[in-house]
Amino acid sequence: MQINLISILSLTVLILYLELGLFVFLKNPSAALNRWFFAVSLVFATWSFGHVVFDPGSRLYGGYPFFPFAAASTFLYLPILIRFISLLTDLPKSNRLKKWLFRLLFAIGLTLVGFMLFVPGNIERIFFIDHFSATSSFSFFIGASYAYLFVSLGLLFFLLLWWRRGMNRPAEVAQFNIIFFPLTIAFTFGIISDLILPMGGVIGLNNLSHIYSVFWLGGIAYGMLRLRFFALTPALAAEQVIGRTNQVLFFCSLQGQVTRTNSFTSDLLQMRSRHIIGRKVSSFFAEERELEKFAEWAVSKGYSGPAELSLRSAKGEYIAVNISLILVKDNFEDVVGLMVFGQDNREAIKLRNEIIIRQQIENKLRSMSEVLEARVKERSIQLANSYKELQIKMTERLKVEEKIKADIAEKEVLINEIHNRVKNNMNLIVALINAHITKGNPSKVNQKFSELAQRVRAILLVHHHLYLSINYSEVDFSGFLRMIVGQLTGFYRRKDEVEIDLNLSEIFLDIDHAVPLGIIVNEIISNSLSHAFNLRGRKKGDQLPPKLTINFYQDAGQCYLEVIDNGKGLPQKFDVNNLQTNGLPLVEVLVKDQVNGVMEIVQNAGTTVKIVFPIGESRS
């Protein structure tokens, strides 16, 4: 390791950067401007740290092993410096825009630093290390890096020049000069030594911008130590208070010429300060003669006002203001001028007018209130009489309601009694039928008795669903289908043998449709479970898993009931009119006569029985 001239200078400016940053920060750590100045000093110190140690025997980074610190600082100091300048100049006005501008530039800088540090060769190419000619290879990264640096520099100088454009006071101009010109010199030397000369083949002077920046920080230090900038001296504090106060303010000579004003007054007049200074103050008021009289009174008495006058803006608009005048004296009590001050009175006038309007409204309301009171009194008497009549009617209505409740309770008892009797009678019929099932009867006879008992149970199940319904007039037929399928699969001992697929819409049917349909469904499902899945005589490979599908839905005023099985099907010469049994003939009769429907039997890999019948205003 070895220390050369650049190392000594870098170490010197590193210490200087840290001292200046700490000095400003410790003056007022709570001030954002002081904190960001410290951040600027810290990043310049990091930049200088990259050049402190020099190793002549190493080719890495031109002999500076800590050069990546300097390279990273080159990309990160600009957003931090722009953030400091934006706080100093208060530009742009939006604090949110200031923050997002810094975040955007800092994020781009971090991205470029990542590409530079983790892609071999990028540091050497962008900083002309071991490449001292204009033939240095160009890449997208290098183009993006230079674009980022020059756009950031342009934005920095744009903020400073924008700040200068709004300055009128000598103290502000001096502060601008201390910041702008040393910064311009530092950047000019940096661009020449770090970019232009290396591209032209001149070596030995590149990567020295961290040293040139001493000009700028030195200017800031001089402004702080000698001119007391950023220290908020009483004079500077007075300047800031005058410049930022939200009151109309004119400083005038004794002859009435304006010598100074503030930004609030300029905004009201919609004119720049330089166009206001030098003109007679009375020319800005609609009541010029009245203001001149107030000025004469103030000169003789020392004070005049307040008075309500109107400012006249550059666009001819009149602005109501409340104005006072006072003499301005020096330390020897000599009169040096006149100060015209006041406030925008538009809101006060608006409020006063609103108060007047409200008072008028209150007077009207008071008179209306007296009329209303008389009407209310009259109406109260009418309401009292109406209330008595209403009480009589309410008493009568309560009696009627009590009678209705008693009738409903009686109806509930009767319905419950009817249901119990129907259930008992049905169960009695089932018991009588079951009594005829004996071991001495042939099996077919016992089977017929069992099927007859099941038909009665189906009718009993319909009545059970009718009793459970809300209005006692409609049956939830989809619920009935689920229960009858469960009964029949248990009755025929097919629960574990046949797969049941139910596709049921929630449809409510009246009792005239529900009872015959209950018998129909009982017969069709019974036929499928007892006959369709008797697979004796068929080859084992041809047998499909037994499946029974029931579809029940409504469409365009028609109700559709489909019972589909994949069993062995009906005989080839099947004719429902020539059957010896009474199951399907009964179904056909019930479909035609009871529900006014149509039945269709289709044989295709099993048997499909499809029944279509019209329904009225059934709920679904």
Strand 508-510 relative to strand 258-261: parallel, antiparallel, unpaired?
A: unpaired
Amino acid at 23: F
pLDDT in tens, 57-90: 777 777 788 889 988 998 898 999 999 888 888 8
The amino acid present at 15, given as its one-letter code, is I
DSSP label at 227?
S
Least Cα distance to 204 among 132, 135, 126, 136 occurs for 132
For 420, the enclosing helix (H) or strand (E) is helix 346-435
Domains of the chain (ranges, CATH numbers): 5-236 (1.20.1070), 245-344 (3.30.450.20), 469-614 (3.30.565.10)
In the chain (620 residues long), the average pLDDT of successive 10-residue segments reads: 77 87 80 84 90 79 84 90 87 86 93 88 74 53 88 92 80 79 83 76 67 72 56 48 76 84 85 85 86 83 81 86 82 76 83 89 90 89 90 88 80 70 76 78 76 74 66 76 83 81 88 83 82 61 77 89 85 63 76 87 84 70
pLDDT value of residue 478? 86
CB 348 within 8 A of CB 322: yes
Write down the pLDDT at residue 152: 92
Neighbours of 86 (CB within 10 A): 22
Q: Give the model's pLDDT for residue 356.
A: 92
pLDDT of 235 reads: 46
* Six token digits for residue 153: 């520099």
Q: What is the pLDDT of residue 560?
A: 92
pLDDT, residue 335, reads: 77
Per-residue pLDDT of 511-536, as tens digits, reads: 788 888 888 888 888 888 877 776 55
How many CA atoms does the CB half-sphere of 576 hold within 13 Å? 13
At 454, which amino acid appears? Q
ω before 306 within 30° of 0 (cis)? yes
Question: How far apart are alpha carbons 67 and 94 in whole angstroms?
Answer: 37
463 vs 468: CA distance, rounded Å: 9
For 499, the token pair is 């797969």
Q: How far apart are alpha carbons 450 and 534 in whole angstroms?
A: 19
For residue 445, give both structure tokens: 């006879």
For residue 573, what pLDDT is reported? 65
Residues 33, 89 contacting (CB under 8 angstroms): no
8-state DSSP, 257: B
